Structure 1
Amino acid sequence: MKSKPQSVLANGPDRCTTSSPAEVLRAQVCSNLELSFLMEAHDGLSAAIAERAGFKGLWASGLSIASSLGYRDVNEASWCQLVDAVERIVDSSKLPVLVDGDGGFGNFNNARLLARKLRQRGAAGVALEDSCFPKMNSLIGDRHPLADIHEFSGRLRAVKDTVAEDLVLVARIEALIAGHGMDEAILRAHAYADAGADAILIHSRKSTADEVLSFTRTWQSRLPVVIVPTTYYRTPVSAYRNARISTVIWANHSVRAAIAAMQQICRRIIAEEGVAGIEPNIATLDEVFELLRYDELARADARYLHPLD
C-alpha cells in the first residue's frame, strides 16, 4: 500500500505536492549538508501553529500526545490513539511528520503494524527507541532497561521490510540515558545501521551537549545524527552545525507552553471572577478562525451550496 495522499481538507487544493511526505522528510533528516529543525506537535492546532511560524517539519511527540490526552508517557496511551492523533497532525499542515513511535508498542510484529498504520495515515517517518515495553519516559528515573540489541535490530528490519522507503526510519538509542556508556551507544548505532535505519537519534539528558558531540565524533557520520536538546538547551546551535548533526528536534515545547498559558489564565479567571482582564493576553476569536481557515469554508460554501447565486 502506498503512502496516504496529503489531505486537502485543512488547507485547500494548494496542499498537494509532487514529493511524498517521506521524500520531503528524507531531504531534511538524511542529510549532513544543512541543519534542520523539527517542531513538536501534539494535535492539529499545534501543527498549524508550527507551520505558520515557519517550521519545515514536525515531530509527533509521544510525551506531548499522551499529555494532551491526560495520560503519562509510559505507554498508557495506545498505539491506536497515537495513530489517530498523528492523522489530525498530518491533516492540519503541509509539513512532513516524524512520529515518536516509542519502542513500537511491543515486539517486531507490533512495530511493523504501527509503521504500516502510520504510513496509511500519512506520516513521513517513525522513530523507534531501544526500550522495553512498556517504556518509561527517558527523563524519569535511572537505569532504564534496554531492549536486547539483536531483538531491537529485528524490530527495525521488520519495519523496513514492511514500509521500505515509504517511511523514514530513525533508530533512537537510549544507552547513554540508561547509563551504559559510549561504547554501548556506538555498538548499538552500528547494529541499527546494519538493520536498515535511515538515521540515528542519540539521546542524552545531561545539561550540556558533551555526550552527543562525543558520539558524533566517534560515529563519523556513517548515518545522519538526530538530537533532542531538551535538557542541554543552553548549547548554541552553532555547535550542532559544526558537528555536522543533521536534525534538531524541539520535542515538547508547544505542549509545555500550552500548559503554562492555560494554568496562568485559569488561575486569573478564578481570582478575578471574570475574563475582562485576560482578554488582551489571549488569542482573539478572529485569530482562531484565521488559523483554521474558516475563510476556505466560506468559499467552499459559496461554490458548492449556492453555485447559482
Structure 2
Amino acid sequence: MPYLTRSDNLPAGERFRTLVEKGFVQIPGAHNGMAALQAKKEGFEAVYLSGAAMTASMGFPDVGLITIDQVVFFLTQIARSSGLPVLVDADTGFGGTLNTMHTVRAFEDAGAGAIQIEDQLLPKKCGHLNDKKLVEPHEMAAKVAGAVAARRSLYVIARTDAVASEGLDAAIERARLYVKAGADAIFPEALTSADMFREFSSRLPGVPLLANMTEFGRTPFFTAAEFEEMGFRMVIWPVSSLRVANKAQERLYAALRRDGSSALVLDQMQTRAELYDLIDLRGFEALDNSIAETVLPSLNNQHLA
C-alpha cells in the first residue's frame, strides 16, 4: 500500500533495535527513495543514509557542509517511500551537545530509526582519509549523553575515528567511555585488518559493533559472514549504491554524446513497467480514486429543518 495510508508499525527506533537484538544486520546505503525501495525489494530490513553519498549526490565533498534540513529532506523520502528503519549519518551532530540533541529530535521526527555521531572536529573528513582531527573524548561523551536524553526510541551509535590518529587502544578507551555515556552501539572507523576487528570486539564484550565495508578505503574486503564471525553485529555499505548509479549515468551520458541516442543503452535501463511497479503507481491511483469518490451523508446524521 502507498505510504500515505496509515501504518500501525512500531516506531522506527524500536524496529531497528529489534533487528540488532535478533541477529546480524546487513545495512546497504540508500542515497534516495528509489534506492531504498530497491534495497527493500531485495529483502533488506534497514538502510543507511550516508553523509558522503548525500553530499556527493549534491555535487560537493563530504566536509561538513550539509545542513540538518538537507539531511531531513533525504531522510524523509527514504523513510516514507520504503517504510524501513533508516540509520542516518549525523556527522558530528551539527555542533555541540545542544545541537546534537536538536539533530536527534529532527531526525527522529523525520523517520530515522538510528543515528550515527562521530568524534571528529569540523571540518570533518571521510573516515578513510588522513589527518582527521578529533574532539576530546569527554566532549564526544557529552554529545552521546545528550543524544540519549533527547531521543524517544532512536538507536544511538557512536563512531570513533581514533584508530588512525591515536591507535587501537585509545579508540577502545573512547568506545568504552561512549558506551558509559549511553551509546547503544559503537562504530570503529577505518580498521585495517581482521586482527583489529577481532581485538576490538573481544575487548568490548557484549557491545554491539558496526563495521563499515566501504569500497576504495582502508578496510580490506570482508563479507557479512566474516564480519559476524569477527564479533560484529552490523555492517554498512555506505556509498555503494551511489557509486554504481554514478557509473551507470556516466555511461549513459557518454553514449548520448557519442551516438546522439540512448538506444544502445536501453538494456541497462530500468523499464517504465519496472519503475511503476516499484513506486506502486497503481496503488496510489487506487487510493486516489477511493478517496475522490463522492459519499453522500446519511440522513440519520442530519438535523432536519
Q: Same fold (TM over 0.5)?
A: yes
Aligned to 1:149: 137
Shift of 1:304: 2.5
User: Is the 1:99–1:127 contact (alpha carbons within 8 Å) kept by the matching residues of 2?
Assistant: yes
Matches within 5 A, 1:76-115: 76-115=65-104
Q: Structure 1 unaligned segments of length 5 or more: list them.
A: 1-7
Q: Deviations over 1:28-60 (max 9, x none)?
A: 23x3x6211111112111111111111100111
Q: Matches of 1:307 and 1:67 in 2, distance apart? A: 47
Aligned to 2:177: 191
Q: Matches of 2:260 and 2:135 in 1, distance apart? A: 52
Aligned match of 2:242 in 239, 255, 279? 255
Letter in 1 for 2:10: S
Note if 1:302 corresponds to 2:293: no
Q: Matches of 2:60 and 2:75 in 1, distance apart? A: 16
Go from structure 1 to structure 2 and tell me whether the alpha carbon gap of 1:288 and 1:105 turns closer, same or farther (over 3 Å shift): same
Matches within 5 A, 1:136-175: 136-140=125-129, 142-163=130-151, 165-175=152-162
Note if 1:224 corresponds to 2:212: no
Aligned match of 1:74 in 55, 63, 71? 63
Note if 1:27 corresponds to 2:12: no
User: Is the 1:160–1:196 contact (alpha carbons within 8 Å) kept by the matching residues of 2?
Assistant: yes
Shift of 1:12: 5.5
Q: Matches of 1:292 and 1:93 in 2, distance apart? A: 9
Matches within 5 A, 1:173-212: 173-176=160-163, 178-204=164-190, 206=192, 208-212=193-197
User: Is the 1:105–1:133 contact (alpha carbons within 8 Å) kept by the matching residues of 2?
Assistant: no
User: Is the 2:194–2:230 contact (alpha carbons within 8 Å) kept by the matching residues of 1?
Assistant: no
User: Is the 2:76–2:110 contact (alpha carbons within 8 Å) kept by the matching residues of 1?
Assistant: yes
Shift of 1:241: 2.1
Aligned match of 1:265 in 252, 264, 284? 252
Go from structure 1 to structure 2 and tell me whether the alpha carbon gap of 1:229 and 1:210 turns closer, same or farther (over 3 Å shift): farther
SS in 2 for 1:201: strand
Q: Deviations over 1:222-242 (max 9, x none)?
A: x11111122435323333222
- TM-score w.r.t. length of structure 1: 0.89
Q: Deviations over 1:99-149 (max 9, x none)?
A: 110110111111111111011111111110011122111222x23111100
User: Is the 1:71–1:77 contact (alpha carbons within 8 Å) kept by the matching residues of 2?
Assistant: no
The sequence identity of aligned pairs, in percent, is: 27
SS in 2 for 1:59: strand
- Which of the pair has more CA radius of gyration? 2
Alignment coverage as a number of residue pairs = 292
Go from structure 1 to structure 2 and tell me whether the alpha carbon gap of 1:236 and 1:280 turns closer, same or farther (over 3 Å shift): closer
Q: Matches of 1:157 and 1:151 in 2, distance apart? A: 10
User: Is the 2:161–2:188 contact (alpha carbons within 8 Å) kept by the matching residues of 1?
Assistant: yes
Matches within 5 A, 1:2-81: 10-11=2-3, 13=5, 16-29=7-20, 31=21, 34-81=23-70
- TM-score w.r.t. length of structure 2: 0.90
SS in 1 for 2:112: coil
Matches within 5 A, 1:274-285: 274-285=261-272
Q: Matches of 1:38 and 1:237 in 2, distance apart? A: 10
Letter in 2 for 1:191: L
Q: Matches of 2:294 and 2:280 in 1, distance apart? A: 21
Q: Matches of 2:198 and 2:249 in 1, distance apart? A: 36
